[in-house]
Chains A and B, each alone.
Chain A
Amino acid sequence: MAIEFKPSPSLPPPVNSVGALAWLRQNLLSSPLNVFLTLFSLYVLYLLVPPIIEWGLINATFSGDSKAACTGGGACWAFIGVYFEQFMYGLYPSEETWRINLSLILLVLLVGAFAIKTINKLYLSLAIILVYPVVAYFLFAGGVFGLTVVETSLWGGLFLTTLLGVVGIVASFPLGVLLALGRRSDMPVAKSVCVVFIETIRAVPLITILFMASVMIPLFLPDGMNFNKLMRVLIGITLFSAAYMAEVIRGGLQAIPKGQYEAADAMGLTYWQSMILVILPQALKLVIPGIVNTFIGLFKDTTLVYIVGMFDLLGRIQAANHDANWLGTTVEGYAFAGFVYWIICFGMSRYSMAIERKLETGHKRN
Chain B
Amino acid sequence: MTDRNMALAQLEPGEEAIIEFIDVNKWYGDFHVLKNINFSIKKGERIVVCGPSGSGKSTMTRCINRLEEHQKGIISVDGVEMNDNLKNIEAIRKDVGMVFQHFNLFPHLSILENLTLAPIWVRKTPKKEAEEMAMHYLERVKIANQALKYPGQLSGGQQQRVAIARGLCMQPRIMLFDEPTSALDPEMIKEVLDVMIQLAEEGMTMVCVTHEMGFAKTVADRVVFMDAGEIVEANKPHEFFDNPQHDRTQMFLSQILNH
**Chain A contact residues, CB within 8 Å of chain B:** 257, 259-260, 262-270, 273, 277-278, 281-282, 285, 359, 361-366
Cross-chain contact of B90 among A259, A270, A361, A363 (Cβ < 8 A): A270
- Taking beta carbons and an 8 Å cutoff, which residues of B are in contact with A? 65, 67, 90-91, 93-94, 96-98, 100, 102, 104-108, 117-118, 121-122, 149-150, 152-153, 166, 170
Nearest CB in chain A to that of B91: its residue = A268
The answer on a CB contact under 8 Å between B98 and A266 is yes
Contact A262 B104 (CB under 8 A): yes
Query: What's the minimum C-beta distance from A270 to chain B, rounded to whole angstroms?
Result: 7
**Do the beta carbons of B118 and A269 come within 8 Å of each other?**
yes
Contact sample, A vs B, 13 pairs, CB 8 Å cutoff: A257-B104, A263-B100, A266-B65, A266-B96, A267-B118, A267-B122, A268-B93, A268-B118, A281-B108, A282-B106, A359-B108, A361-B108, A361-B150
Q: Given A278-B106, A361-B108, do A267 and B153 touch, yes or no (CB 8 Å)?
A: no
Instruction: Identify which of A260, A263, A281, A362 gathers the most chain B CB atoms within 10 Å of its CB.
Output: A263
Q: Which residue of B lies closest to A259 (CB)?
A: B104
Residue in chain A with minimal CB distance to B154 = A365
A338 to nearest B CB, angstroms? 38
Residues of chain A lying within 8 A (CB to CB) of residue B152: 361-364
Contact B100 A282 (CB under 8 A): no
Residues of chain A within 8 A of B90, CB atoms compared:
268, 270
A264 to B104, CA, bound (A): 9
Enumerate chain A residues within 8 angstroms of B117, measured Cβ to Cβ.
267, 269, 277-278
Nearest-Cβ distance from residue B231 to partner chain A, whole angstroms: 23
CB-based contact B170/A260 at 8 Å = no
- Known contacts: A268-B118, A277-B121. The answer to whether A262 contacts B67 by CB under 8 A is yes
A260-B106 contact in complex given A266-B65, A268-B93, C-beta closer than 8 Å: yes
- Does the CB pair B150–A364 fall under 8 Å? yes
Q: Which residue of A lies closest to B105 (CB)?
A: A263
A265 to B105, CA, bound (A): 13
Instruction: Tell me which residues across on chain A come within 8 A of B100, comparing CB atoms.
Output: 259, 262-263
Whether A361 and B107, one on each chain, are in contact in the complex, defined by CB atoms closer than 8 angstroms, is: yes
Is B153's CB under 8 angstroms from A268's CB?
A: no
Partner of B153, one of A257, A269, A364: A364
With a cutoff of 8 Å between Cβ atoms, the chain B residues found around residue A277 in the complex are: 117, 121
Compute how far the CA of A361 lies from the CA of B105 in the bound complex, rounded to whole angstroms.
13
A303 to B21, CA, bound (A): 64
CA distance A273 to B107 in the complex (A): 17
Query: CB-CB < 8 A to B166: which residues of A?
Result: 267
Instruction: Please determine whether B93 and A266 come into contact, CB atoms closer than 8 angstroms.
Output: yes
Which residues of the other chain, B, contact A262 by a CB distance below 8 angstroms? 67, 100, 104
Residues of A contacting B149 with CB < 8 Å?
A: 366
| Beyond known contacts A263-B100, A268-B122, A277-B121: 4 more, CB 8 A cutoff | A262-B100, A266-B98, A267-B122, A282-B108
- The CA-CA distance from A257 to B183 in the complex, in Å, is 16
Assembly CA distance A117 to B102 (angstroms): 37
The CA-CA distance from A266 to B167 in the complex, in Å, is 9
Residues of A within 8 A of B96 (CB): 266
What CA separation (Å) do A359 and B152 show in the bound complex?
13
A259→B67 CA distance, assembly (Å)? 11
Q: A259 vs B100: C-alpha distance in the bound complex, in angstroms? A: 8
- In Å, the complex CA distance between A281 and B108 comes to 7
Determine the distance from Cα of A267 to Cα of B158 in the docked complex, in whole angstroms: 20
Instruction: Establish whether residues A285 and B150, one from each chain, have CB atoms under 8 Å apart when the complex forms.
Output: no
Q: Give the distance to chain A from B209, nearest Cβ to Cβ, in Å.
A: 14
CB of B150 within 8 A of CB of A269, answer no
Q: Which chain B residue lies CB-closest to A271?
A: B86
A268 to chain B, nearest CB (A): 4
Cα distance A361–B153 in the bound complex, in angstroms: 9
- Alpha-carbon separation in the docked complex, A262 to B167 (Å): 13
Of all chain A residues, which has the CB nearest B90?
Answer: A268
Chain A residue with minimal CB distance to B120? Answer: A277
Q: Is A265 in contact with B170, judged by CB distance below 8 angstroms? A: no
B102 touches A259 (CB 8 A): yes
Bound form: Cα–Cα A260–B163 in Å: 12
Q: Shortest beta-carbon distance, B113 to chain A, in Å? A: 10
Closest partner residue, chain A, to B170 (CB atom): A267
Q: Tell me how far the C-beta of B33 lies from the nearest C-beta in chain A, rounded to whole angstroms.
A: 17
Partner of B67, one of A266, A270, A364: A266
How far, in angstroms, from A285 to B221 measured CA to CA in the complex? 46
Chain A residues with Cβ under 8 A from B105's Cβ? 263
